[in-house]
Chain A
Amino acid sequence: MLHIVNMSIKNKLTLVIMTSTLLGVVLISSIFVYQRYVSFKTQMSSEFTTIAKIISDRSNAAVIFEDQNSLSETLASLSLHDQVKLACIYNLDNMLLANYTRDSRKYVCPTQPGKNGQAFSRSHFHVGEPILVGGETHGKVYIRACTKQLDKEIRASIISSATLSTIVILGALLFARYVQRFISDPLIELQGIARKVTIEHDFSPRADKKHDDEIGELVDAFNTMLETIAQQNIVIAEHTENLEKKVEARTAELEMANRELEAFSYSVSHDLKAPLRKIDGFSRALEEDYAHRLDEDAQQYLARLRSNSQKMSQLITSLLHLSRVTRKEIDKKPFNLSELAENIMHSLAESEPQRATRFSVQPDLHAEGDHKLVEILLDNLIGNAWKYSRDQAETIIEVGCIKGGANPVYYVHDNGCGFDMEYVDRLFKPFSRLHSSDQFEGTGIGLATAGRIVNRHQGKIWAESEPGKGTTFYFTLSEEKNAEIVTHEI
């Protein structure tokens, strides 16, 4: 069955047509031959029964008067009929009165006549008829005819129906060959084109529609599909090309702008530092050399001048940091993060020895990254913590790590004033501050720099805070997707 299922449509069609034709032809031929057989048999039976009846009628007087010569003459007339091989007439005592035989060696009258009626044996037809006179039985006629003629007729009808069947089957085969072309040829063509499209990605060939049937519609649909695909391909190609060009142009523009901006900010910062240094230098000289000549107000102004110029210097340093962070190549190496944090905390504690502090750094935090940049990062984060917790009775700063997956999440926690999470978006943007300069001094560049350092490590930085309850900054130093999920374990 699988064999048939996997056949080509061409062969399937031929098979279907041939099978139905064969079945039909065989059925009709069988019926025809059978009917011929039955009809010949009936005909033969009726013919020889009639002959037996005629003989019976013709010989009834002769039987009564036992005129054997007359009976023999009557039977002799049967020689005119080829098929009659044997005929016998018996009296009531089943005694043979007369007989006719075509071949006395082959055909001999039975000593006892059979029953009345007709019967077919293997090669003969037998008929027995009573001899009646005025309704009374006086004897019996028995006739045996050979069925050679019947066999011949049946053979002839088998041969003729077989010949006719063969002609019909050949005709059906030719018809099937002719008809299947209308179905399979377009399909084979479609298949060829589909294969060409698949292998060569060439959408230009079109199938040829030959007829207005379902296959014709299929061909149309196929062609339309190819047309649509080809057009869409052109559109997609154009789009891709445009997009690439646009991206290239934009990238170039952006790179240019970025370079210009960096160069500008670097040169501005750098160039601004020289005059500032001079302002500071001369202010200090003025303070040191001419302090005794200046009144108190002037000294106050001078102090302010110096403080502001220092603030400006810090601002410029920060800007330089920021631009350096942007331009510098990342040089990833393993380093001890705990040591770095402790150093920073130590110098901070030294700067304000009067502050009550409680620092805790998780020991042996071995991280991998650009040592110098991470130092700036920690400097900023711990500096912030130091700055915003100065109003607390005791400053608490913690540095540690949450071991989560392959990528550790580091954190810097303080018990400072905190901030409203509503403004968390502005946290890492340059020059944007959540506290006024009157409350806490600052440039607004520190966290932007921190954000950029983390970014350049493909890491992430985020914060959690609540006003009055302290702030925690988290960061990672390499790419990790589920870093945020892990923080909730704290």
Chain B
Amino acid sequence: MPSLLHPVFRRPLLAALLTLCAANQSFAKTEYDIKAAYLYNFIKFVSWPGEIKSLPLRVCLYGQDPINEKLMPLKDIRIHDREVEVKLVEDIADAPSCAVLYIAREQKKQLAEIVTVIDRSPVLMISDIPDFAKSGGTIGFVTLGNVIRFDVNLIKARASGISISSKLLELANQVVR
């Protein structure tokens, strides 16, 4: 189902950037492109407490991951009428000020520590670490066969004050309540 024809690629600017970045990684391109597009679309169906339009919406990347490159172009677009700022986080202590935190698969072992640091901060944690949603993350990518889906931890989202559209919940593979 998900393919290069995904709607997100129709956005000329984003598509061009994504294509440029994924020039010599033909397999990974498809998977990470889709995940990057999913992340971009998640933001559309999520709202944060006390959002201020003048402040940029900060998308933080923690750890090295092929998706990082794909997400870089987001800094040139606006979501929820806010500018997007893409930032690589070195120190996890800086993470609570992010709106979105993408945790690289390589950070799997630090997951418990990260969850503790974030605690109840309104940070949408996304990762493709297996069982991410069950382990205290907010949205975790899952691969079912050749289809990419996602799980949602509603308890975590509620605890951090983030509200997720029911439409998104409907599309989720699993919702932790």
Q: A66 touching B10 by the CB < 8 A rule?
A: no
Q: A95 touching B44 by the CB < 8 A rule?
A: no
Distance of A60 Cα from B7 Cα, bound (Å):
12
Contact indicator per residue, chain B 1-39, by CB within 8 Å of chain A (1) or not (0): 110011110100000000000000000000000000010
Distance of A95 Cα from B3 Cα, bound (Å):
13
Residues of A within 8 A of B2 (CB): 66
Q: Which residue of B lies closest to A134 (CB)?
A: B44
Distance of A95 Cα from B170 Cα, bound (Å):
23
Shortest CB distance B152–A (Å): 12
User: A61-B165, A93-B5, A93-B10 given as contacts; is B170 within 8 A of A133 (CB)?
Assistant: no
Q: At the interface, yes or no: A68 with Cβ under 8 Å from chain B?
A: yes
Q: A139 touching B168 by the CB < 8 A rule?
A: no
Q: At the interface, yes or no: A291 with Cβ under 8 Å from chain B?
A: no
> Which single member of A58, A60, A68, A133 contacts B1 (CB below 8 Å)?
A68
Q: A61-B165, A68-B1 are in contact. List 4 more A-B contacts (CB 8 A).
A: A61-B45, A62-B167, A62-B171, A134-B80
Q: B171 touching A61 by the CB < 8 A rule?
A: yes
Residues of A within 8 A of B7 (CB): 63-64, 66, 91-92, 138-139
Residues of A within 8 A of B41 (CB): 61, 64-65, 133
Contact indicator per residue, chain B 50-82, by CB within 8 Å of chain A (1) or not (0): 000000000000000000000000000001100
Distance of A134 Cα from B77 Cα, bound (Å):
13
Distance of A201 Cα from B56 Cα, bound (Å):
118
Q: A62 touching B44 by the CB < 8 A rule?
A: no
Residues of A within 8 A of B45 (CB): 61
Q: Which residue of B lies closest to A65 (CB)?
A: B171
Contact indicator per residue, chain A 67-104, by CB within 8 Å of chain B (1) or not (0): 11010000000000000000000011101000000000
Q: A61 touching B1 by the CB < 8 A rule?
A: no
Q: Which residue of A lies closest to B168 (CB)?
A: A61
Distance of A92 Cα from B7 Cα, bound (Å):
7
Residues of B within 8 A of A133 (CB): 41, 44
Q: A60 touching B5 by the CB < 8 A rule?
A: no
Distance of A447 Cα from B56 Cα, bound (Å):
157
Contact indicator per residue, chain A 37-78, by CB within 8 Å of chain B (1) or not (0): 000000000000000000000101111111110100000000
Interfacial residues of chain A within 407-437, with CB under 8 A of chain B in the complex: none
Q: Which residue of B lies closest to A97 (CB)?
A: B1
Distance of A63 Cα from B44 Cα, bound (Å):
13
Q: Which residue of B lies closest to A64 (CB)?
A: B41
> Which single member of A63, A70, A92 contacts B170 (CB below 8 Å)?
A70
Distance of A188 Cα from B6 Cα, bound (Å):
93
Q: A58 touching B167 by the CB < 8 A rule?
A: yes
The size bracket of the interface on A is 10 to 19
A-contacting residues of B (Cβ < 8 Å)? 1-2, 5-8, 10, 38, 41, 44-45, 79-80, 165, 167-168, 170-171
Distance of A69 Cα from B38 Cα, bound (Å):
18
- Report 20 cross-chain contacts, Cβ distance below 8 Å, ordered by A residue: A61-B41, A61-B45, A61-B165, A61-B168, A61-B171, A62-B167, A63-B7, A64-B7, A64-B44, A66-B6, A67-B171, A68-B1, A70-B170, A91-B5, A92-B7, A93-B10, A95-B5, A133-B44, A134-B79, A134-B80
Q: B10 touching A61 by the CB < 8 A rule?
A: no
Q: Which residue of B lies closest to A58 (CB)?
A: B167
Q: Which residue of A lies closest to B78 (CB)?
A: A134
Residues of A within 8 A of B80 (CB): 134
Q: B38 touching A65 by the CB < 8 A rule?
A: yes
Residues of B within 8 A of A63 (CB): 7
Q: A92 touching B167 by the CB < 8 A rule?
A: no
- What 4 pairs across the A-B complex have the smallest Cβ distances? A61-B167, A64-B41, A67-B171, A92-B10
Residues of A within 8 A of B8 (CB): 64
Residues of A within 8 A of B6 (CB): 66
Shortest CB distance B173–A (Å): 11
Shortest CB distance A63–B (Å): 7
Question: Which of A58, A60, A61 gathers the greatest number of chain B CB atoms within 10 Å?
Answer: A61
Shortest CB distance B6–A (Å): 7
Q: Which residue of A lies closest to B169 (CB)?
A: A61
Q: A70 touching B44 by the CB < 8 A rule?
A: no
Residues of B within 8 A of A93 (CB): 5, 10
Residues of B within 8 A of A70 (CB): 170-171
Residues of B within 8 A of A60 (CB): 167
Residues of B within 8 A of A91 (CB): 5, 7
Distance of A161 Cα from B1 Cα, bound (Å):
56
Distance of A91 Cα from B3 Cα, bound (Å):
13
Residues of A within 8 A of B170 (CB): 61-62, 70
Distance of A111 Cα from B10 Cα, bound (Å):
20
Shortest CB distance A111–B (Å): 16
Distance of A139 Cα from B7 Cα, bound (Å):
9
Shortest CB distance A53–B (Å): 15
Q: Which residue of B lies closest to A66 (CB)?
A: B1
Residues of B within 8 A of A61 (CB): 41, 45, 165, 167-168, 170-171
Residues of A within 8 A of B38 (CB): 65
Q: Which residue of A lies closest to B166 (CB)?
A: A61
Distance of A133 Cα from B45 Cα, bound (Å):
9
Shortest CB distance A129–B (Å): 16
Distance of A93 Cα from B5 Cα, bound (Å):
8
Distance of A92 Cα from B171 Cα, bound (Å):
20
Distance of A443 Cα from B168 Cα, bound (Å):
161
Distance of A92 Cα from B79 Cα, bound (Å):
19
Distance of A92 Cα from B8 Cα, bound (Å):
10
Shortest CB distance A136–B (Å): 8
Distance of A138 Cα from B79 Cα, bound (Å):
15
Shortest CB distance A481–B (Å): 126
Shortest CB distance B65–A (Å): 21
Residues of B within 8 A of A138 (CB): 7
Shortest CB distance B145–A (Å): 15
Shortest CB distance A75–B (Å): 14
